[in-house]
């Protein structure tokens, strides 16, 4: 979340400021002993995250680091308090904290995803911060604050057996969370150097059910047979892309912010597809995301009433979308 009450963001509105908050830039690291894969089968808890596993996984993902055991321990010591903040936030805003979502946050080592790709700097010391906020990844992208990601994950209602699609890979943390619950997690990143670099981080931690590619998320991932139970979009669209509706399974849902680029009044929408294929929409809360790029900025919306995307209930027109009152947030913020 970023900007104002309850707004959720993924990309780089705060990139310049966050880039200066690099707590532990680390460069080359010596080789260390092989590690046992910390990743777990989908839906299961991962094995203990240790300093040795962190250093080895970073090296194997092409992001070698130098970090002391004491630095690692100090970061991990902040995690229990962060978990309590997540639980309290979900209870406050959604009435309860889904045990599966909490278990995913416990299993996924967030410090592993703190990295500034443009200058090749690891920033694990920023993880589990007391005041949650987005952190720059470089290339105009950012790792969302953990409260915003917890909220988005829970309203997705992920379940074992689901197949998910994320539009906007970013750090890879959001799809990693989903991968601990669902069967397969797919993700598309439009920024080529970021998408290529992040594609290498999943295998070293054993997350073999996360699949990424570089491309325009407007078109989804039609090659995935059977479509998706969940589509989660982490950038503001002026209308819901028609191709994404086509790829939602009956009974599935899409979470997407709709609104004018870089303006207030964006609204988080939850779309669901019933057994007959009819799309239903629900306004969730007021948000503020940076724009969806690519085809979204080039192609006109489908005509209303055609059953294609924008005609399903929301467009970024003042006549169509009224600013929703955002629920109060406990922090400034995948």
What residues are annotated to the active site?
A: 144
What are the C-alpha distances in Å from 126 to residues 116, 144, 214? 11, 12, 27
For tokens 């379940």, name the residue: 159
Sheet containing 210-214: give its strands across.
210-214, 184-189, 163-167, 228-233, 248-258, 266-273, 279-287
Q: Is 133 exposed, middle or buried (0-12, 13-18, 19+ CB in 10 A)?
A: buried
Write the DSSP string, 61-122: TT------HHHHHHHHHTHHHHHHHHHHHHHHHHSS--HHHHHHHHHS-GGGG-EETTTTEE
- Class of residue 264 by CB neighbours under 10 A (exposed 0-12, middle 13-18, buried 19+): middle
Q: In terms of Cα–Cα distance, which of 177, 140, 181 is closest to 158?
A: 181
Q: Do 38 and 180 form a contact (C-beta atoms < 8 A)? A: no
Token representation of residue 243: 């191709």
Torsion angles phi and psi, residue 327, rounded to 5: -70, 145
Give the residue among 108, 118, 134, 120 at the shortest CA–CA distance from 54. 108
- The gap from C-alpha 262 to its chain's centroid, in whole angstroms, comes to 19
Q: Quote the CA–CA distance of 100 and 310 in Å, as a whole number.
A: 32
Q: How many CA atoms lie within 13 A of 124 on its CB side?
A: 27
212's enclosing H/E stretch is: strand 210-214
């Amino acid at each position: 979340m970023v900007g104002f009450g309850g707004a959720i963001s993924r990309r780089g509105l705060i990139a310049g400021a966050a880039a200066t908050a690099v707590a532990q830039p680390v460069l080359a690291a010596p080789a260390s002993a092989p590690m046992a894969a910390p990743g777990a089968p989908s839906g299961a808890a991962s094995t203990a995250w240790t300093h040795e596993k962190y250093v080895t996984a970073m090296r194997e993902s092409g992001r070698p680091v130098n970090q002391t055991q004491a630095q690692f321990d100090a970061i991990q010591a902040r995690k229990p308090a962060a978990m309590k903040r997540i639980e309290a936030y979900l209870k406050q805003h959604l009435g309860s904290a889904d045990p599966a979502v909490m278990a995913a946050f416990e299993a996924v080592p967030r410090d592993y995803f703190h990295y500034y790709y443009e200058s090749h700097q690891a920033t694990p010391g920023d993880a589990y911060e007391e005041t949650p906020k987005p952190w720059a990844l470089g290339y105009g992208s950012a790792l969302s604050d953990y409260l915003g990601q917890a909220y988005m994950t829970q309203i997705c209602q992920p379940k074992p057996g689901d197949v998910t699609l994320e539009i906007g890979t970013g750090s890879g943390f959001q799809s990693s969370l989903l991968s601990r619950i669902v069967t397969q997690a797919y993700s598309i990143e439009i920024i080529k150097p970021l998408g290529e670099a992040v594609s290498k981080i999943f295998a070293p931690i054993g997350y073999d059910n996360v699949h990424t590619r570089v491309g325009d998320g407007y078109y989804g991932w039609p090659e995935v047979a059977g479509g998706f139970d969940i589509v989660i979009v982490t950038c503001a669209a002026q209308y819901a892309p028609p191709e994404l509706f086509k790829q939602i399974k009956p009974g599935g849902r899409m979470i997407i912010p709709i609104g004018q680029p870089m303006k207030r009044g964006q609204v988080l929408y939850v779309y669901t597809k019933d057994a007959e294929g009819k799309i239903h929409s629900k306004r969730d809360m007021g948000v503020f995301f940076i724009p969806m790029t690519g085809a979204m900025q080039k192609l006109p919306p489908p005509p209303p009433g055609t059953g294609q995307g924008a005609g399903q209930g929301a467009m970024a027109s003042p006549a169509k979308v009224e600013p929703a009152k955002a629920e109060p947030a406990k922090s400034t913020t995948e």
